[in-house]
Amino acid sequence: MATNNRTVIFIGLLIFAVLLIGTNLANYYFFAGQAGPAAAEDPANVIRLEPRQVDPPDRDQAELFWKTIETVRDNYFYPVETEELVEGAVRGMIENIGDPNVRFYDPEDLEEFLSETRGTYGGIGIRVIEANDKIVVFETFAGSPAERSGLSPGDRILEADGYELTGEGLNRAVELLRGPGDTTVDILISRPGADEPIELTVGRAEIQVSSVFSEMIEDGLGYIKITNFDGNTYDEFESQFREIEQSGLSRGLILDLRNNPGGLVDAVVRIGQKLVPEGEIVRLVGREGEVKTVHNSSAVKRPYPIVVLINEESASASELLAGALQDREAAVLIGQTTYGKASVQQLEHLPEGNAVLLTVAKYFTPSGHDIDKHGIEPDFKVDMPEILRYYRYFHPGSLEEGDYGAEVEMLQLMLEQLGFRLDVTGYFDGQTSRALRNFQDRAGLELTGEFDDKTWVELREALDIAARENDEQLNYAIEAIRKPGLMNVTGGLE
């Protein structure tokens, strides 16, 4: 199949991935300056922008606005409340701005947004997706009530507290599964391989969504991955960074910011103050080009090389950190050009518990580089197989011989990545069925030659391993740190 067609497929999967992240239990935003609960509770965290003098609204336009509302309210055939018309007008106003980062929140949406920026919520500890109108468990969080209750990836949640979930959408599922930490939810699930649905009562708890993961790859070489920047990210980073430093980072640190869509500016600045040498981290600039805020670091330069991994989905706050480290010659960047979003948003509260998230500034890297719509170029460009970037967002339900389309092509690409020989055509033919049977045989599954939930779970686990073993960007970073000249490149010790 043509390369352009595959690109369309991957773009579609990327959009799905963003929707998955945005709608499920951890919502990660593409803006660096969202003002979450921490900012509301601690004024020091709020981006400081001088108030702007604005002329009073044009009286004729204001009169047009209210006259239209009155006319519709009083004369439209179907009754409609003024409140609905005003909210609709406000939403239309925000949409008309044409900035995807500007959003209107009603009280319910605002509460959801604020809980997500904290990185915690009341729930059972799962991430779900929607496949063929079914709500499917995509992931269970370690130590969560869901894990303790035996929920597993691939389980389909049919009901929650007696309410049918099939066909009702992700938002409805999340609404019913979340709740205060001292409550329970009764769910009915369909499990791959089980003949009858299973009833479970699952407790809810305060779930903290981890955004930092670390390990020692080998002696003296540490690895930290940051998935987004929320209210808990700095504390997680500080704890894990201290732990691996104590383990001995004599050889270097790999900081993985791939697929990180951004988050709270306060969190990324505090992390920057740990890694960026003394001096500027980032500057915030107003719409007239005036510098509003400059964030600085007083950190001592690290005595070991730092490599930062970036890709096309590294956006906003993650670009801020990568750009600062690159400009200050504190790290080398490996991977692909980043997303290119340098706007900063701030939450403004409105009457009746509503709010609007407004773009209020742009940020520039220490060298004055405007990365908006351009992104940050890595020092070393290294590709990554697209299938290894998007496979975790693949769940089409069932596929069998005779099916055709993008989902079949994705399945074929996954099998090909795992070493099974077949033509990638997008048509589920006999060789696809044979390759799938061979995989099922390797995984100890029933040899059906069809793609089902049990096969999906095993296929995803196999690709998790392949993604790590065949991670060309990470492997390049490891080899780069092993090269004797890298310390000089990053300005480290001779």
Active site residues: 316, 327, 341
Give backbone dihedrals phi and psi of 127, rounded to 5 degrees, phi first: -115, 135
What's the CA gap between 225 and 222, in Å, rounded? Answer: 10
How long, in residues, is the chain?
494
Give backbone dihedrals phi and psi of 427, rounded to 5 degrees, phi first: -110, 125
- The 3-state DSSP class for residue 446 equals coil
What tokens does 453 get? 């939930």
What's the CA gap between 20 and 38, in Å, rounded? Answer: 25
The distance in angstroms from the start CA to the end CA of the chain is 51
Residue 474 identity: L
Q: Kindly state the helix (H) or strand (E) to which residue 390 belongs, with its residue range.
A: helix 386-390
Contact 244, 272 (CB under 8 A): no
What's the CA gap between 305 and 489, in Å, rounded? Answer: 9
163 burial (CB, 10 Å; 0-12 / 13-18 / 19+) is exposed
Which residues partner with 346 through β-bridges? 358
Write a three-state SS string for 209-268: CCCEEEEEEECCEEEEEECCECCCHHHHHHHHHHHHHHHHCCCEEEEECCCCCCEEHHHH
Distance of CA 448 to the CA centre of its chain: 35
What Cα–Cα distance (Å) separates residue 355 from each residue in 369, 397, 416, 431, 468? 32, 38, 48, 55, 42
Residue 86 CB neighbours (<10 A): 14
